[in-house]
Structure 1
Amino acid sequence: MDIFGQNVFNDAVMRKRLPKATYKSLRKTIEGGLPLDPSVAETVANAMKDWAIEKGATHFTHWFQPLTGITAEKHDSFISPTMHGLVGMEFSGKELIQGEPDASSFPNGGIRATFEARGYTSWDCTSPAFLKEDAGILTLCIPTAFCSYTGEALDKKTPLLRSMQALSKQALRILRLFGNTTTTQVTSTVGAEQEYFLIDKKFYDKRLDLMLSGRTLFGAMPPKGQEMDDHYFGSLKARVAAFMHDLNIELWKLGVLAKTQHNEVAPGQFELAPIFGTTNIATDHNQLVMDSMKKVALRHDMVCLLHEKPFAGVNGSGKHNNWSMSTDDGLNLLDPGHNPHENFQFLTILCAIIKAVDDYAELLRVSAAMPGNDHRLGANEAPPAIISIFLGDQLTDILEQLQNGGITRSLQGGKMASGVETLPAFHKDSTDRNRTSPFAFTGNKFEFRMVASSQSISGPNVVLNTIFAEVFSQFADRLEQAENFDQALLELLKGTVANHKRILFDGNGYGAEWVEEAAKRGLPNITSTVDAALVLLRESTVELYKKHGVLNRTELESRYEINLERYCKQINIEALTMIDMAKHLIIPAAVKYSAQLAGSINAIKSASSAVDISVQENLLIDLCSTLTSFRSNLDALEKDIQGSASVPDDAYAKGVYYRDVVFRGMKALRTDGDKLETMIDAELWPLPTYAQMLYML
């Protein structure tokens, strides 16, 4: 209790340090979405400075989230010159409200030319300032939004805040229809479960691929992978437990509600889950979680890997984005209650969500599209690239009743009896869970399971907020004009279920038969980041975001360019890294081992012609044959990369080339490289193996 939030300029600190009038004015801005009174900023800045300096900070920074997907910060000291060559410690309201980083040096998709540098960061007072600790040095971090000189959003935060406003506005219209006159704000909330790998730093330092691309570009499967199912929820190794302990302390200091930690399915893989928070704060916190994981791991001579698929052949990592909505008077709008068949407000919201996910499935898929996620989606540990919704037995039954004419019951869970007299009977939920579903209802929230482990959760939640706001708007437009509300509502819900039930699927999302079934239902199956990007340019996408004031056409076009450019750059870096490793590590090891084999064969032949040396000869033949193929594929990959220069200067064409040509060449080179690993003497193999990295912690 003493640790939690000690490095956060939170509500308790503000209540203590700010004048009552200033505190009340700031709370109105935070809670009610009212414009910030400029006079408040000066007082808050002074209190924030004093608090930070008392804690030991000497610098402050506007902490923002550019379109790199990570955070950015430029540090300024509090010092200001006074007379006689001395300095004082100052921090003004203007410095709190506004900063000026170089906008053209961050991804902008053509919004800013190289010579057009000016951009602005703007204080997000809804997310508390905090002290970030690096090597014992504290810096005051002020969460901010980031925009260009011409006003376009160049960050992850601004569209998120806009989408939250849009959701609140349209959700309130739905609540008013059901007689709620007290709620003044609806806020989306998120709990982002974070999966990650830990490996020993001595192995990481010998893997150029991990250092430059975040994933292993070569690596044969070890004798044991995850097939024994013995890592999931297993006992924590002492080294990992010590890491988790220190990580929790760092996160609790920052006010991050880290709650659950455990071994995940793959060896060397783990998970951390927080308690729910307001979406923009949860987004900030998830960035702090990822940053803290990396720093704390290094203290324990380990490295935290956040790539979606750092090791081929074993489970990759993602985030489970648990999304819900809450009112400012404490109601969870996705809580169905004990008898959801009688809760028509909940059923209306549920049907709106079903319609939104069906109507905008491709946009939702775009929100999880990243180069690393292309390796994961559809594999054994991740949902497929096909968007579907799992509701469970209770809600599925209610919707079936609704479609058939009337709702009379809600299935109840009852009691679970173990058959052991000494174990207590306990309450059983009304429905099972489905871990293969991309978008699953889990009691009082929806779990969007497609999100990539390394990405900001801002993008997926911008889409969720916006598409739900749109369908709430459609429902409200229809119901507000109804002469008979009850009849109109029933017709609306029945029609929604009938028209969008294709998106509901409670079966095994990993099965090949689901791909066939989804195609029959007309559900989209976008399998790559390259094709997903095209959805951003559709006129329907532009109109959706424009209507709700979330992103304009220019901002969408910039994100299209950025996404595809990032994809090409990532594949290019990986390909060049493979070439470097092949030339300087793998080929020399194979040549050295083949020379040893040849020398051994010649020595034995010289000693005795009667000795059977077929094993050595066959091994040498196989080795040289594989090395020849490896060299051929290496040459081909180099030509593939050179060929990218002749591709038309078009973002999509470049993306298709890197996906269909360069990446294909990488897979061919890896196949031979991994085969060589299984053939070459372990003492000569230059790279740490999967067995070492996954099991030696």
Structure 2
Amino acid sequence: MLSATYLGSTRRAALSAISTGSRWLSSTLASSSASVVDASYGADRFSFSLLSSESQAALAECETNGTPLSAAAADDIAATLHDWAVSRGAVSYSHMFSPLREGPAEKHDSFLAFKSGRVTSAFTGSMLLSGETDGSSFPNGGLRGTHRAGAYTAWDVTSAPWVRSGTLCLPSVFVTHEGTPIDEKTPLLRSMEAISEASLKVLRALGDKDSTKVVPEVGWEQEFFVLDRELVLQRPDVVTSGRTLVGAAPSRGQQTDANYFGAVPPRVKAMLRDVQDELWSLGISCATLHNEVAPAQHETAPIFGVTNVAADENKLMMQVLKDVAAEHELFVLLHEKPFANLNGSGKHNNWSLTTSTGVNLCAPGSASFEQAAFTTFTAAVVHAFAHHGDLLRASVATAGNDHRLGAQEAPPAIMSMYLGENLTAHMDAVLAGGALEGYSEDARRVLGLGTRAVPPLRASVEDRNRTAPMPFIGNRFEFRAVGSNQDISTSLTFLHAAVIDGLEAISKRTDAGDSIRDAVSAVLADSMHVVFNGDAYSDEWAEEAERRGLPNNRDSASALGAIAADKNVDLLSSTGILEREAVFARAEIAMEAYSATIELEATAMLKMLQQGYLPAAATDEATTGGAASTTSFSADKAGIYGDLTAATAKLAADLDSLRGALSGEAPAAATKVAAGVASTMATTRAAADTAELVLPASLYPYPTYEELLFRHHTHSAYERA
């Protein structure tokens, strides 16, 4: 990710535009960076500069003060959007929204209107601003029903539309007939406004009278696997669940460390270049592409952006990856753990807060104000993880991410922070009565490399700790626990809520008469137990974390209940991010999604065993004589096949229990049953993987790990269809 600190005047211009209600879009970026950005950048992303000055002012007033758009302004915006979209090949429009499920939703409506008995081409302001649909057919936690199903989509006017595949796409929210959110975006937008207000109050205590807004920003890093499509379609587990439910480890995994930053295979590179081209036209800067640690694993990352826009772009990028891969006869897996015994995929969220005057509150800076503000806001983040680690853990709790967290390639389920030795020492000094100022990026060391051929390097003040869920990275904090298949909105919404609580803890003390220094010190005194600069993968840390009172919810079944905990319901509702009933609904939806995923996976695994593994084992046993053979090898093989048969029967019985729980139990109770089935699946998988190693290759019914991971690496690139 290209860090916020290094964008200088361009960044400041962007944030100034944001604070005044102006849009920071491709045309502005192109004009300020003409040597870097060519005319194709953002060609399929709408630029608000195309609007009349009156419409731009109306949108700015809407964003800044919540003033509704007049019918005339809405019609003018719609007409401009329509003409631009048609010029880009659009024949329809869609309010793209993010229901509480995997993947966005879209309904395509033609640019048509019925007027005076005739059908005409039209796109009116009312068509632009909102749509109506059935809310009961989406996950809603009881907030909707067949007898009260009304729900609305509404365009987020701060996120620029785009044209793709003949459709004008309008990033939108999704709410019930009463206006209660049943989507990912609405709470995120509310949290962004709430954290801005809480931040401004603290900034005033620090002496900042000029900032009018604080903008949360994020730069996401998307990890994924790319496989041969033909082979994937022969794996029912991958097609159904996005991961391999059975499969013995390949001979070559990641033991030689040869894949990370290695040469991208030609066929995959051609596909990723096409992805990059399409993202470029959509105004998404695919700044980084590289191999990840596991074979067939890759990563891409853009330049950071304003959080709600970045979330929209991440969802769009995930879809572009899948679509372009199909054109190359490849298949993209976004699951957090597609292959056992290999690294899984995450989506690191590089998060920061920036004022309308261009100050990054998550970077120490050189000026005394910047240093004091950095210390203050860092204290709020530390408070967030110390007191709402359970909520933050729940925000990344999914059946897929359970396989990744704590598996030596991702942070553990214990939510802790890494500050580094120098920043921790500074915080300790504040606790001892020292000033907020004093920690600066000017303390970066100069590294001499022992050769005149390479100029000296400036090292960051702190080392990098990849084992922490939320490490400090010099000018931002990196929420590393988010899963690769997740919408980043909920994790960031909950993060904002938790940080707001830290900011309010500081403000309460300054309101009571404390100095800002004393207020920050008091908050740190109550929160520094969440800071751990060591190896968070170690068993010793789990023991130490327990002594510190930090929760360790190892799986989703134990983590998701925290969403509905009293303190978290109070937090989310008091900040205006979610209504109380919406919080309870969200907890129920998350539990149901977890149980449904386990049921789906167990069903797919059982079918593969009954229709593939067991028949193959029976054929082998009949051919070799099985248990009747006098050879020890055949006797061992018969035992292995017997273990697989028994494990399959146990899985079938447990799956029946889960189906019963899903039909009759409350979501929390069904989740516990699902967790038991997940454990049974792990045992069954071990039996299946052992059987695979003794089955003759000619009898193995599915493509192996070696074939899935490496076969397409031997292919040359070919032209996109």
Q: How does 1:61-72 map to 2 (within 5 A)?
A: 61-72=94-105
Partner amino acid, structure 2, of 1:588: P
**Residue from 637, 643, 656 that aligns with 1:629:** 643
**Residue from 657, 660, 668 that aligns with 2:683:** 668
Partner amino acid, structure 2, of 1:695: F
Distance (Å, rounded) in 1 between the aligned partners of 2:367 and 2:403: 42
- Indicate the residue corresponding to 1:653 in structure 2: 669
Partner amino acid, structure 2, of 1:680: L
Q: How does 1:409-558 map to 2 (within 5 A)?
A: 409-410=438-439, 412-482=443-513, 488-558=515-585
Partner amino acid, structure 2, of 1:654: A
- Indicate the residue corresponding to 1:287 in structure 2: 315
Deviation at residue 320 of structure 1 after TM alignment:
0.3
Deviations, residues 565-608 of structure 1 (Å, cap 9, x unaligned): 11111111111111111111111111122222239x99xxxxxx
Question: Cα distance 1:566–1:198, how it changes in 2: closer, same or farther (>3 A)?
Answer: same
Partner amino acid, structure 1, of 2:41: F
Q: Which moved more, 1:646-655 or 1:43-52?
A: 646-655
**Residue from 158, 168, 179 that aligns with 2:186:** 158
Distance (Å, rounded) in 1 between the aligned partners of 2:327 and 2:528: 51
1:619 aligns with 2:650: no
- Given that 1:341 and 1:398 are in contact with CA atoms closer than 8 Å, whether structure 2 keeps it comes out as no
- Indicate the residue corresponding to 1:639 in structure 2: 653
Deviation at residue 409 of structure 1 after TM alignment:
4.8
- Indicate the residue corresponding to 1:196 in structure 2: 224
Q: Which moved more, 1:211-220 or 1:646-655?
A: 646-655
Distance (Å, rounded) in 2 between the aligned partners of 1:382 and 1:338: 33
- Given that 1:339 and 1:410 are in contact with CA atoms closer than 8 Å, whether structure 2 keeps it comes out as no
- Indicate the residue corresponding to 1:3 in structure 2: 40
Partner amino acid, structure 1, of 2:648: L
1:319 aligns with 2:347: yes
Partner amino acid, structure 1, of 2:137: S
Question: Cα distance 1:393–1:342, how it changes in 2: closer, same or farther (>3 A)?
Answer: farther
- Given that 1:340 and 1:347 are in contact with CA atoms closer than 8 Å, whether structure 2 keeps it comes out as no
- Given that 1:388 and 1:505 are in contact with CA atoms closer than 8 Å, whether structure 2 keeps it comes out as yes
Partner amino acid, structure 2, of 1:422: A
Deviation at residue 224 of structure 1 after TM alignment:
1.6
> 3-state SS of the aligned residue for 1:243?
helix
Distance (Å, rounded) in 2 between the aligned partners of 1:233 and 1:536: 38
Partner amino acid, structure 2, of 1:127: S
- Indicate the residue corresponding to 1:607 in structure 2: none
> 3-state SS of the aligned residue for 2:133?
coil
Deviations, residues 277-308 of structure 1 (Å, cap 9, x unaligned): 01000000010111111111111111000001
- Indicate the residue corresponding to 2:269 in structure 1: 241
**Residue from 143, 147, 165 that aligns with 1:111:** 143
- Given that 1:232 and 1:266 are in contact with CA atoms closer than 8 Å, whether structure 2 keeps it comes out as yes
- Given that 1:438 and 1:448 are in contact with CA atoms closer than 8 Å, whether structure 2 keeps it comes out as yes
Segments of structure 1 that go 5 or more residues without pairing to the other structure are 603-612
Question: Cα distance 1:340–1:533, how it changes in 2: closer, same or farther (>3 A)?
Answer: farther
**Residue from 241, 250, 262 that aligns with 2:290:** 262
Instruction: Point out the structure with max Rg over C-alpha.
Output: 1
Q: How does 1:9-88 map to 2 (within 5 A)?
A: 9-10=46-47, 14-16=48-50, 18-30=51-63, 34-81=67-114, 87-88=119-120
> 3-state SS of the aligned residue for 1:627?
helix
Deviation at residue 257 of structure 1 after TM alignment:
2.1
Deviations, residues 188-222 of structure 1 (Å, cap 9, x unaligned): 00111000001111110110000011111110011
Distance (Å, rounded) in 2 between the aligned partners of 1:220 and 1:340: 57
Deviation at residue 339 of structure 1 after TM alignment:
6.5
> 3-state SS of the aligned residue for 1:450?
coil
Distance (Å, rounded) in 1 between the aligned partners of 2:458 and 2:694: 55
Q: How many residues align?
A: 670
Distance (Å, rounded) in 2 between the aligned partners of 1:655 and 1:342: 46
**Residue from 381, 387, 393 that aligns with 1:359:** 387
Question: Cα distance 1:544–1:357, how it changes in 2: closer, same or farther (>3 A)?
Answer: same
Distance (Å, rounded) in 2 between the aligned partners of 1:292 and 1:28: 33
> 3-state SS of the aligned residue for 2:701?
coil
Distance (Å, rounded) in 1 between the aligned partners of 2:382 and 2:66: 28
Q: Which moved more, 1:551-560 or 1:454-463?
A: 551-560
Please give the TM-score of this superposition, normalised by the length of structure 1. Answer: 0.93
- Indicate the residue corresponding to 1:606 in structure 2: none
- Indicate the residue corresponding to 2:702 in structure 1: 687
Distance (Å, rounded) in 2 between the aligned partners of 1:585 and 1:512: 39
Partner amino acid, structure 1, of 2:598: I
Q: Which moved more, 1:390-399 or 1:429-438?
A: 390-399
Deviation at residue 643 of structure 1 after TM alignment:
2.0
Distance (Å, rounded) in 1 between the aligned partners of 2:556 and 2:121: 48
Partner amino acid, structure 2, of 1:620: S
Distance (Å, rounded) in 2 between the aligned partners of 1:29 and 1:64: 20
- Given that 2:371 and 2:439 are in contact with CA atoms closer than 8 Å, whether structure 1 keeps it comes out as no
Deviation at residue 334 of structure 1 after TM alignment:
1.3
- Indicate the residue corresponding to 1:100 in structure 2: 132
- Indicate the residue corresponding to 2:8 in structure 1: none
Deviation at residue 342 of structure 1 after TM alignment:
7.7
Q: Which moved more, 1:404-413 or 1:514-523?
A: 404-413
Deviation at residue 480 of structure 1 after TM alignment:
3.3
Distance (Å, rounded) in 1 between the aligned partners of 2:417 and 2:562: 20
> 3-state SS of the aligned residue for 1:355?
helix
1:382 aligns with 2:415: no
Distance (Å, rounded) in 2 between the aligned partners of 1:30 and 1:645: 47
Distance (Å, rounded) in 2 between the aligned partners of 1:26 and 1:346: 32
Question: Cα distance 1:181–1:495, how it changes in 2: closer, same or farther (>3 A)?
Answer: closer
Partner amino acid, structure 2, of 1:560: A
Partner amino acid, structure 1, of 2:129: I
Distance (Å, rounded) in 1 between the aligned partners of 2:327 and 2:379: 49
Partner amino acid, structure 1, of 2:409: E
- Indicate the residue corresponding to 1:605 in structure 2: none
Deviations, residues 586-641 of structure 1 (Å, cap 9, x unaligned): 11111122222239x99xxxxxxxxxx96xx3332222222222112212211112
- Given that 2:599 and 2:658 are in contact with CA atoms closer than 8 Å, whether structure 1 keeps it comes out as no
Q: Which moved more, 1:357-366 or 1:402-411?
A: 402-411
- Given that 1:6 and 1:253 are in contact with CA atoms closer than 8 Å, whether structure 2 keeps it comes out as yes
Deviation at residue 28 of structure 1 after TM alignment:
3.5
**Residue from 328, 350, 360 that aligns with 1:332:** 360
Q: Which moved more, 1:493-502 or 1:65-74?
A: 493-502
Distance (Å, rounded) in 2 between the aligned partners of 1:393 and 1:363: 27
Distance (Å, rounded) in 1 between the aligned partners of 2:83 and 2:520: 55
- Given that 1:32 and 1:184 are in contact with CA atoms closer than 8 Å, whether structure 2 keeps it comes out as no
Deviation at residue 646 of structure 1 after TM alignment:
5.0
Deviation at residue 2 of structure 1 after TM alignment:
2.1
Question: Cα distance 1:86–1:651, how it changes in 2: closer, same or farther (>3 A)?
Answer: closer
- Indicate the residue corresponding to 1:231 in structure 2: 259
Distance (Å, rounded) in 1 between the aligned partners of 2:434 and 2:451: 41
Question: Cα distance 1:379–1:44, how it changes in 2: closer, same or farther (>3 A)?
Answer: same
Partner amino acid, structure 1, of 2:49: R
Deviation at residue 398 of structure 1 after TM alignment:
1.0
Distance (Å, rounded) in 2 between the aligned partners of 1:56 and 1:286: 23
Distance (Å, rounded) in 2 between the aligned partners of 1:353 and 1:56: 46
